[in-house]
A and B are shown apart, each in its own frame.
Chain A
C-alpha cells in the first residue's frame, strides 16, 4: 500500500517535470479554451457556441406576461441562441420533445398573467389569485440545451416575481394615498410589468443566462462552462495514455525490471502506476479548473460536486489508459492509439460540437466515452446542480472505470509485466 503510494507520487512528480507532457496536459487545453472562447465571442459577449436550440412555446395565457415571455424568445437578443416555434396544443408540444424534434416545450397555462397581476375583479373581491406555474418540458437527451431554455424561463419568472412584489406594494400605496382608483390599479400593474420586461437587464440574457438554484443562489451559465470542461476532458485522455505509456517506457528504460528485483510485488507496482496516472489526471483537471476560475471568472458550480465528478471522470479515463496500454506492445503504439482516442473521444464526447447536434446513433455511442458523461455532469453543475444531481454521470463513470480496470488486469496478467 505504502509502496503503491510512493510509486504514484513519483509518477506525479515526473509528469510535472516533463515539458512536452505539460504542454499537452495544461497549456494546450487552456489555450484551446481561450481560443474557442474568443471565437465564440465569450469575451466580447455576443453569442454562445450553442445556437438555434429548437423550442416550442404554447402560450395559453395570451395576456401580457405570457406574451412577454413569448416575445422574449423571439427577441433579437436570443435570435441566435434559440429557434422558437409557437404551438397550440400542450400534448403536441410534449410529443415533439419526446420525438427529439425540440429541446424543450414551454407551456404557459391560461391565467398565468392574472395569477401574478390580479385583475380588477379580484381586487374588489379581495381574492388571493391561485398560483399558476409555467411548465418547461425538457428533452433529457439534450441536457445542455434544455438546461439553457429552463434557465431563461427561470430568469424570466424570477424577474417577474421580484417585480411583482414591488409592483404590488407600489400599487397598494397609490390606492391608499388616493392617487389611483382600484379600476386604474390593474392598468398600472400591467404597465409596470411591461416596463420590467423592457428593463435593460433583460437585454443581457443572451450573454449571461441567470438562473436561480434551489437555495436561491444566483448562478450563470456561461459558454466557457461548456468549452473548458470539454477541452480539459479531451486532454485528460492525453494524460492517461501518456501515463499508460510510461508503464511500457519504464519497462524499456529498465526501471520497471529494477523495481521487480526489489522486495515489491508486481501488484504493488501496477497499482502504483495506476495511482500515478490517477493523481496526474486529477491534478491536471483541478489545475485547469482553478486556472479558468481565476483567469476567466468561470463558475464551475458546486465545489464538492466538481471534485467528486473530477475523481469519477479521471477514474474512468485512467481505465481507458490502462486498457490501451494492456493492448499495445510498444510505447509508440500507446502514443498513437492514445492520440487517436483523445481526438475521437473529444469529438464523440462533445468537446467540439455539442452532442445534441449529432445523430442519435452517435449520441448513444458517445456513452462509451468518459468525456460525454463528465461533460454532462459539468453542465449540470454549471447550471447550478449539486452532487445530488450527478448520480447518473458519476455512477456511469465509476462503472466504466471498474469494467476497464478488470479487463486490463486480466490482459496484463496474460502478458506479464516483464517477460518471465
Chain B
C-alpha cells in the first residue's frame, strides 16, 4: 500500500518552547496508526499541524500528495478531523450540527441528507437526532463529535483522544466504530494516552514523549525492544514509602528496572517467578504490606517505561 501520509521533520515552537521537535513518520493507506504518549507529549500539536490548523515552524508533511504548508485546501478536502475537545454547537440538534458541518465540507441537497442519515446511524443517534446537543451525555456528545469528522467520507481520519472522560460503554462503542471505519477502507491516525486502546486498534504505533517520536513500529517490534521481559506490578498502602522500596528492589540481581507510580511499583525483569520471592522478602524487611501482585507480559506500557523511566499515565 502507498503512503497516504508522510511527515518529515515537523517542528512546532510556541514562543521559546518547542512542543514538537522534528517528528517524522509515514502512514500507509488503510492503516490504523496510533500516536501514544502522555499528556503534553505533543500529540494535539502534531495533529493540528497535519490538519492545517497550525503552520509548522519547520518541516513539512504531505497527505495524498498535497503539502500541508503549500496546498492546505487540497489537504482539507481529503482529511476528517475529530478534535480532542468537543467542537459542536450545543444549541443545535445533532442533525443540525451534522447538516451545518456537511455544508462546510461542500455537501448539499440529497447527498448531504443521505450522508447525515447514514452518519447518524453509524454513531447510533438516529433516535436522538432531533434533540439539542446540550441535552446529551458526555458519550453521546463524543459520538456527534466523531460523526462530524465522517460526513465527507475522508480518506484519512484524525482522531485526537476521542475517548477521554467517558463511560466504558461509550468507549467500547467508539473503539468499535473506529475498527468498522477502518474495515470500510478509511485510514486512521489515532492519538491516545491509553496503552490498551493503542494495543487494541493499531497496526502500527508511534510513541511520542516531550515532542519526540521515541519509538515506532508494530506492537511486536516495539515490545521486542524491551527484550524478553515481564513486569511485576505491586500495589502497596498509601502510608508506605514506595520510593525506598523501589530502590531496594533495584539491588535484586534479576531486576532490570523498578519504577513508582503513586502506590504502584512496577518491576521489570527477565523472569517474574525468579524475583518474586526476593521482592516479597524486601517488602517484609521494611514492614510494608503488599496488597496485590500482577504479572504482565511485555506491553506498550513496559516499552514506554523502558524508554523513558516513567509511566504513561499521569
Residue of B nearest to A272 (CB): B104
Q: Give bound CA distance, A275 to B88, whole Å.
A: 20
Give chain B residues whose Cβ lies under 8 Å from the Cβ of A420. 54-55
Q: Give bound CA distance, A254 to B53, whole Å.
A: 11
Q: Looking at B55, B76, B103, which has the most chain A CB atoms within 10 Å of its CB?
A: B103
- On whether A262 and B55 interact (CB within 8 A), knowing A13-B92, A14-B92, A254-B87, the answer reads no
- Asked if A17 contacts B91 (CB within 8 A), the reply is yes
Q: Which of A18, A253, A261, A265 contacts B81 (CB 8 A)?
A: A261
Q: Which of A6, A254, A260, A265 contacts B100 (CB 8 A)?
A: A6
Is A359 part of the binding interface, using a Cβ–Cβ cutoff of 8 Å? no
Is B52 part of the binding interface, using a Cβ–Cβ cutoff of 8 Å? yes
Is A290 part of the binding interface, using a Cβ–Cβ cutoff of 8 Å? no
Q: Give bound CA distance, A90 to B11, whole Å.
A: 82
- Asked if A261 contacts B100 (CB within 8 A), the reply is no
Q: Total A-B pairs in contact (CB under 8 Å)?
A: 61
Is B105 part of the binding interface, using a Cβ–Cβ cutoff of 8 Å? yes
Q: Give bound CA distance, A254 to B148, whole Å.
A: 13
Give chain B residues whose Cβ lies under 8 Å from the Cβ of A254. 83, 85-87
- Asked if A3 contacts B85 (CB within 8 A), the reply is no
Give chain A residues whose Cβ lies under 8 Å from the Cβ of B25. none
Give chain B residues whose Cβ lies under 8 Å from the Cβ of A418. 53-54
How near does chain B come to A338, taking the closest CB pair, in angstroms? 20
Q: Give bound CA distance, A10 to B100, whole Å.
A: 8
Interface size class of B (residues with CB under 8 A): 20 to 34
Is B51 part of the binding interface, using a Cβ–Cβ cutoff of 8 Å? yes
Residue of A nearest to B77 (CB): A263
Q: Give bound CA distance, A3 to B76, whole Å.
A: 15
Interface size class of A (residues with CB under 8 A): 20 to 34
Give chain A residues whose Cβ lies under 8 Å from the Cβ of B214. none
Digitize B100-142: 1 where CB-to-A-CB distance is under 8 Å, 0 elsewhere.
Answer: 1101111000000000000000000000000010000000000
Q: Give bound CA distance, A262 to B88, whole Å.
A: 14
- Asked if A255 contacts B87 (CB within 8 A), the reply is yes
Is A257 part of the binding interface, using a Cβ–Cβ cutoff of 8 Å? yes
Give chain B residues whose Cβ lies under 8 Å from the Cβ of A14. 89, 91-92
Q: Give bound CA distance, A255 to B100, whole Å.
A: 11
Give chain A residues whose Cβ lies under 8 Å from the Cβ of B290. none
Is A213 part of the binding interface, using a Cβ–Cβ cutoff of 8 Å? no
Residue of A nearest to B56 (CB): A420
- On whether A258 and B81 interact (CB within 8 A), knowing A264-B104, A420-B55, the answer reads yes
- Asked if B85 contacts A263 (CB within 8 A), the reply is no
Give chain A residues whose Cβ lies under 8 Å from the Cβ of B104. 3, 6, 259, 262-264
- Asked if A262 contacts B105 (CB within 8 A), the reply is yes
- Asked if B106 contacts A263 (CB within 8 A), the reply is yes
Give chain A residues whose Cβ lies under 8 Å from the Cβ of B100. 6, 10
Q: Give bound CA distance, A181 to B89, whole Å.
A: 87
Give chain A residues whose Cβ lies under 8 Å from the Cβ of B106. 263
Residue of B nearest to A257 (CB): B53
- Asked if A263 contacts B73 (CB within 8 A), the reply is yes
Interface residues of A (CB under 8 A from B): 3, 6, 10, 13-14, 17-18, 253-255, 257-265, 418-420
| 16 A–B contacts from the bound complex (CB under 8 Å) | A6-B103, A13-B96, A14-B91, A14-B92, A17-B132, A253-B86, A254-B83, A257-B87, A258-B83, A258-B101, A260-B53, A261-B51, A261-B53, A263-B73, A263-B76, A418-B54
Known interface pairs A257-B83, A261-B52, A262-B76; 11 further A-B residue pairs with C-beta atoms within 8 A, sorted by A's residue number: A10-B92, A13-B92, A14-B89, A17-B91, A18-B91, A253-B87, A254-B83, A262-B101, A263-B106, A418-B53, A420-B55
